[in-house]
Structure 1
Amino acid sequence: MGSFLFLFLKGVAMGAANVIPGVSGGTIAFVTGIYEEFIDSLKSFDLEALKLASRFKIKELWQHLNLSFLIPLFLGVGISLISLGKLLDWLFIHYPVFVWSFFFGLILASVYYVSKNIRRRTVSVFIAFALGTIAALVLAFLKPAEENPANYYIALCGVVAVCSMILPGLSGSFVLILMGNYQLVMLQAVPNLDIAIILPFAIGGGIGFIILSRVISYLLHHFHDVTLSTLTGFILGSLVVIWPWKSEVYLQNDSGGLILKKGEKIVQGYEWFAPAFDNSGTFIAIGLGVLGVVSVALLEMTAESK
């Protein structure tokens, strides 16, 4: 029951993170120490699972899919998106700097604690860490591409979008904006159920899900330290997106008008600046960042005491 509760709470955190732009559920899975099992569990949805299901071998199917792990996790995600997600969404709208600050501290501390799981600190590990950090920084400063309605490109967008949901430190919506097809897919095709766009996107997403979950699982099992170091560096680099003190740059159409989703502006990037220490809000934000660091430290202490 204790294990169920802890997994449920981690699922709650994953669901809540999806509300915050730039913070993905994959990041929370990574920093709470369940990322490897999460990826291995996703990989288990294969032909063997279909065979077990068709033969009604429930016990074997349960074990094969690791449902004792996935059910409490996704239950937490679902409940969080319905309940806690709304609260975080409200907080993010009214107190964005405070929310950014807490998550900044949370993820910053997690980079240190996750790096402790690297067994051997070789030259290749440090190079992988640097490359992961640089890759995340480059993505943060990229300018969006132009829209491309070609089926092959839409399918590629599906592949990359799903990959970004599995990879920690990367937002699926942000990737679609960078690839230029956010408006085409999320604002036009999905609300209007345009199958001509949704179908190739879904096919690409399915391919991305199947391939990437297996690739990451393989890399973690065969090149554990280099893979973990790369992902840790990627999360460190993604902190630039989570920096609390910034102003939003909104997505615009070719004529310079704002593109809206459900009446709200869409963030395509940021302009960063240093905090001003002439108001109490800055000190509250810093305090919340420290609280994020302390929260991760307490989680680590709890995990080590088990």
Structure 2
Amino acid sequence: MEKPSKRELFLLYLKGVAMGAADIVPGVSGGTIAFITGIYQTLVGSIGAIGPKTVQTLFRDGPVAAWHSFNGNFLFVLMAGILTSVFTLSKLISYLLTEQAVLLWSFFFGLILISAVHVGRHITEWRVPEVLTLAGGALLAFGITTIAPTEIALNPITLFLSGSIAICAMVLPGISGSFILLLLGMYAHIIGAVKALDVVSLGIFASGCLVGLLLFTRLLSWLLTQFHNLTLALLTGFMIGSLNKVWPWKQTLSTRINSHGEAVPMDQANVLPDQFLMVTGQDPHLVYSLFLMAAAIALVLVVERLGGSKS
């Protein structure tokens, strides 16, 4: 295996930054970014390679061989980019979700829409099973986006389990780990821990993420190898179904009080831009929103053109 150049490592780091930024937003998956930037199967395969054989290689051939056995350099650089985003952009993303939600969601709506097309194009043969799998994935993701958030008790066990569940969603294009945390009522806790650098809470959550990641990616890697078209059809369906969550114009039907005593949306309905103005009294920013959707689509097409789409 050729040693990657500094330029390749820097580009990989930037892909990690983009994945981290996406993972912060409830409704957008870092797995989507991994797919459109051409590193998805490498990512899944590298994580899936970590297991008992890694330990055997460690004791038999040493730490360097063990590190290379699961593509350690790739994962290290990518994770560095992800963590950079999480710790530097969480405040910015939180601000945009509050102050410029329509524009932020517009960009990600365009991104996920073209990403669904992008993933679907990798399916080499469309048959009845692929069509049914796509439809099933879309219905499942749509159903998840309609579930009202809840609030579970905050303790080490729930933190660990939340990490285990959310990380599986973060790996899947179209299923947002942040949104799963939102459904569990853990999103504000995790973002708060990141902002406050609560090492204990973040350590427990990260442990759950690690366990869930190692178990789930092995299954996903096997599915991509044995049932490539069906798996991609399912992932495409996930993306299509998740568009319901990232539709920019929403009417809040009911709110709830979170653990910080703040009123946050609980039940929302998608509305058209002109209805958004009538029911909320807020500017739908239609021109800017359409521009950002188009910009997101153009961005993915440019990434494809540059040859980064060999996922």
2:51 corresponding residue in structure 1: 46
Moved more, 98-107 or 27-36: 27-36
2:291 corresponding residue in structure 1: 287
2:71 corresponding residue in structure 1: 66
How far did 1:221 drift?
0.4
- Which amino acid is 1:81 matched to? V
Tell me the secondary structure at the aligned position of residue 273 of structure 2: coil
Tell me the secondary structure at the aligned position of residue 169 of structure 1: coil
- Which amino acid is 1:212 matched to? F
Matched positions, count: 295
Distance 2:60 2:79 in 1: 25
1:274 corresponding residue in structure 2: 272
Post-superposition CA distance 1:53-90 (Å, at most 9, x none)? 34572331232120232122112112222334444443
1:95 corresponding residue in structure 2: 100
Tell whether the 8 Å contact from 1:173 to 1:182 is kept in structure 2 after alignment. Answer: no
Distance 1:163 1:99 in 2: 24
Distance 1:171 1:234 in 2: 10
Moved more, 14-23 or 143-152: 143-152
TM-score in terms of structure 1 length: 0.80
Distance 2:269 2:9 in 1: 42
Distance 2:60 2:300 in 1: 44
Tell whether the 8 Å contact from 2:23 to 2:177 is kept in structure 1 after alignment. Answer: no
Tell me the secondary structure at the aligned position of residue 270 of structure 1: strand
1:135 corresponding residue in structure 2: 140
Distance 1:157 1:91, change over 3 A: closer
How far did 1:293 drift?
0.7
Moved more, 212-221 or 66-75: 66-75
Distance 1:249 1:42 in 2: 41
Tell whether the 8 Å contact from 1:13 to 1:77 is kept in structure 2 after alignment. Answer: yes
TM-score in terms of structure 2 length: 0.79
Tell whether the 8 Å contact from 2:26 to 2:177 is kept in structure 1 after alignment. Answer: no
Distance 2:38 2:13 in 1: 14
Tell whether the 8 Å contact from 1:140 to 1:269 is kept in structure 2 after alignment. Answer: no
Tell whether the 8 Å contact from 1:18 to 1:24 is kept in structure 2 after alignment. Answer: yes
Q: Percent identity?
A: 35
Tell whether the 8 Å contact from 2:58 to 2:65 is kept in structure 1 after alignment. Answer: no
- Which amino acid is 1:66 matched to? N
Q: Which residue of 170, 178, 191 maps to 1:165? A: 170
Listed as ranges, the gaps of 5+ residues in structure 2 are 278-282
Are 2:23 and 1:25 aligned? no
Distance 2:124 2:218 in 1: 22
- Which amino acid is 1:259 matched to? N
Tell whether the 8 Å contact from 2:24 to 2:178 is kept in structure 1 after alignment. Answer: no
1:1-306 equivalence runs, <5 A: 1=5, 2-54=7-59, 57-144=62-149, 147=152, 159-178=164-183, 182=186, 207-248=211-252, 252=256, 258-261=257-260, 265-276=263-274, 281-303=285-307
Distance 1:221 1:104 in 2: 29
- Which amino acid is 2:268 matched to? Y
RMSD: 3.7
Distance 1:212 1:149, change over 3 A: same
Distance 2:258 2:169 in 1: 23
- Which amino acid is 1:122 matched to? R
Distance 1:268 1:175, change over 3 A: farther
Post-superposition CA distance 1:172-220 (Å, at most 9, x none)? 34334545x64998699999x9x9xx97x88865553332111111000
- Which amino acid is 1:235 matched to? M
Tell me the secondary structure at the aligned position of residue 303 of structure 1: coil
Listed as ranges, the gaps of 5+ residues in structure 1 are 253-257
Distance 2:272 2:246 in 1: 13
Moved more, 12-21 or 85-94: 85-94
